[in-house]
Structure 1
């Protein structure tokens, strides 16, 4: 369910919720893959400033959307804004092992132990441990790892897993929509439920 390779690919991406939502709605409305690609690349569906940027955004978001089955797409369209943002995050987590492990090993553990915030030291410890465990991560530039720290924080804020209060990253554990939780558990995604809700 979770990609088994480590990647720093998130440094080239954003949360892109509005764009993600637009593509999901096009799929749900019955547009074909080719029609959607044409809309994105030839008709500038994303309103991108440059053609290469439209291609890049389309590629990343299309890969995210492909993490969803028909039931998840229907659930997304029928859900409230908070749940839709969580679903976007789930698609990202499925594709990015390191970010998933951060949510599972740091965010979840903090929540289980009753801590109310994530601190810079938590990020540092996580990346230091991963460098020891994996040679590829150890070879990433410091600038890349710093960028990933910022991206993880921004994504968690965008998905409402964190809130910024006086420059502190406060943990705000989401209450998962029951239909989403059931779907994840039924399709092998119970580990995602545990990661996001802070349960053992």
Structure 2
């Protein structure tokens, strides 16, 4: 089950952010509360950002993303390779953001099932148009918000390795560590694995 029941545009300010997610997961693992983590991030600038305004905006959403991970996934995220961390972060993004999860299911999963390894601009535009027709809330979004979300979705795919590069639109399958795959299945979240193309 995803945390948000309504569509959201929060990914415009809190995209992939694997480094930040890892930092927060470490602090969680050390026993810090959400309030203490907020203090550390903002007062000690542990992300080392030049501008704290973007951190302030993204922080609540990154924190929620980390909170969606159980101890096992959090531990793997902290201790294992970048490749493992990417997949866990993608899973957390899908758990947190309903619109992105539906995009993964309806566009990426469908393409990979059909061995279609090409993501076209038309695919993304059609997905957003359909959702805007179905959701009164989404239909009120500005053109710039929608354009930014499309960019962020593609960038997440690029950063996780599903999209090879932005120009060609070529897709590839993720290599998902068996420990992640087994654990997510045991949690009853097989649909998230399928959305990643497994």
- Separation in 2 of the partners of 1:40 and 1:102? 31
- Separation in 2 of the partners of 1:64 and 1:72? 12
- Separation in 2 of the partners of 1:52 and 1:130? 30
TM-score scaled by length of structure 1: 0.91
Q: Which runs of 5+ in 2 are unaligned?
A: none
Q: Which residue of 2 aligns with 1:129?
A: 130
Instruction: Say which SS state the counterpart of residue 197 (structure 1) adopts.
Output: coil
Q: Which residue of 2 aligns with 1:80?
A: 81
- Separation in 2 of the partners of 1:195 and 1:9? 20
- Separation in 2 of the partners of 1:131 and 1:191? 24
- Separation in 1 of the partners of 2:39 and 2:84? 28
Q: Which residue of 2 aligns with 1:197?
A: 197
1:116 lines up with 2:117 in the alignment: yes
- Separation in 1 of the partners of 2:134 and 2:101? 16
Cα distance, 1:5 vs. partner?
A: 1.2
- Separation in 2 of the partners of 1:126 and 1:164? 20
- On the 8 A contact 2:13/2:58 being kept in 1, the answer is no
Encode CA deviations 1:80-133: one digit per residue, 9 max, x unaligned: 211101111111111111111001100010111111110000011111111221
TM-score scaled by length of structure 2: 0.92
Q: Which runs of 5+ in 1 are unaligned?
A: none
1:178 lines up with 2:178 in the alignment: yes
- Separation in 2 of the partners of 1:164 and 1:22? 27
Q: Which residue of 2 aligns with 1:15?
A: 16
Distance 1:46 1:78, change over 3 A: closer
- Separation in 1 of the partners of 2:54 and 2:171? 33
Instruction: Say which SS state the counterpart of residue 165 (structure 2) adopts.
Output: strand
Encode CA deviations 1:132-156: one digit per residue, 9 max, x unaligned: 2111112211221111111100011
- Separation in 2 of the partners of 1:129 and 1:52? 33
Q: Which residue of 2 aligns with 1:67?
A: 68
Instruction: Say which SS state the counterpart of residue 114 (structure 1) adopts.
Output: coil
Distance 1:164 1:52, change over 3 A: closer
Moved more, 30-39 or 14-23: 30-39
Encode CA deviations 1:1-58: one digit per residue, 9 max, x unaligned: 2232111111122321111112212323x24124433321211111122343332333
- Separation in 2 of the partners of 1:96 and 1:67? 11
